[in-house]
Homo-oligomer: A and B are copies of this chain.
Amino acid sequence: MSEMRRELEDSARKVFPDWQAAQDAKASWAQMAELGWFMAGVPEALGGLGLERRDLAVIFTEMGRARMPGPALAQFLALEALVQAPDFPGREDLMESAMAGEAITASLTIAGEDLTAVPDADTADRILVRSTDEVTLINLAGAKITPFPTWDGSRRLFTVAPAPDVPRIPLAAGSEAAALTERLDGLLCLGLAGDALGGADAVLAMAIEYLGTRRQFDRPLAMFQALKHRAADLKVALETATALYEASSEAAPLALGAMKAHCCEVYKQVAEEAVQFHGGIGLTVEYPVHLFLKRAFLNRALGGSAAFWNESAGDAVLELAAVE
């Protein structure tokens, strides 16, 4: 891991040492802004830190570990869209305020799905809307904003129907829009995958710690080989997915989507087992393990389903063989 990435990780863990540290959405938003996260992916020429995608990948993992509330992932999408868009009057101001933490939201579904799963749409001023035809920033004044409450309570999601006649800032159109949209979907998948791996790592550690302290039949649960082997399998799945994640930050959108599907499946699998490892106590709201389970499921459903991405990936494999 590079110096830069280790620094990002260290500073994140100092501010958000565990999932509890980030639960105040407003405070953690300010902390993220202070850590410079919203500047991270913006080129230095545009006033940002000019970090690469694999540096952002570290941030995404830390957000998952902290079970970060708020619309940060949407913010990264909006910033990326602004960075990629050709210059236009007011772009610099917009970018500056977004880097400082003024929220621009966006749907956490992939382009082509509904404008749903939009975090904090009720407090954001603008929303990034992307399709293969155009990418625009739309003012949310007068929009119809319907709550989309999920079992995961860490993200406040909404369904949005913008008002027809509000100001729109076009960022891309035509083939440029298609390319930008693909790029943004890829970033979304990278973000969700990182979130999944950070969360999985946190909840696996939580479960293993629990097994080490909880005793049954005069020994810690962690001494039972059947549980040890299942924990080991989860660790293998997690490490394997993490290696893929680290190697994929610059990958093509399709590969990022398939990678997201893989990582989110691992998160779900780890969280599902973590609840079982906790036994009855894991079924009570007093223990945090369920919070990760619910986020794991939500992550899996955001950014395109596994069915969609795996089918696309399978199509690509088919092309390896000459068609008769």
Contact = CB atoms under 8 A, between A and B. Distances in A.
Interface of A: 224-226, 228-229
A224 to B, nearest CB: 6
A221 to B, nearest CB: 11
Contacts of A228: 226
Contacts of A229: 226
Nearest to A230: B226
A225 B229 CA distance: 9
A226 B225 CA distance: 5
Contacts of A225: 224-226
Nearest to A228: B226
Copies in the complex: 2
A229 B226 CA distance: 7
A71 B323 CA distance: 39
A230 to B, nearest CB: 8
A263 to B, nearest CB: 26
Contacts of A224: 225
Contacts of A226: 225-226, 228-229
| Ranked 6 nearest A-B pairs via Cβ | A225-B225, A226-B229, A225-B226, A226-B226, A224-B225, A226-B228
A226 B228 CA distance: 8
A228 B224 CA distance: 11
A225 B230 CA distance: 11
A313 to B, nearest CB: 20
A225 to B, nearest CB: 4
A229 B228 CA distance: 12
A225 B216 CA distance: 15
A314 to B, nearest CB: 15
A192 B226 CA distance: 33
A257 B243 CA distance: 42
A1 to B, nearest CB: 33
A229 B227 CA distance: 10
Nearest to A223: B225
- Residue from A224, A228, A229 with most neighbouring chain B CB atoms (10 Å): A229
A211 to B, nearest CB: 14
6 contacts: A224-B225, A225-B225, A225-B226, A226-B226, A226-B228, A226-B229
A126 B194 CA distance: 64
A101 B38 CA distance: 82
A294 B229 CA distance: 28
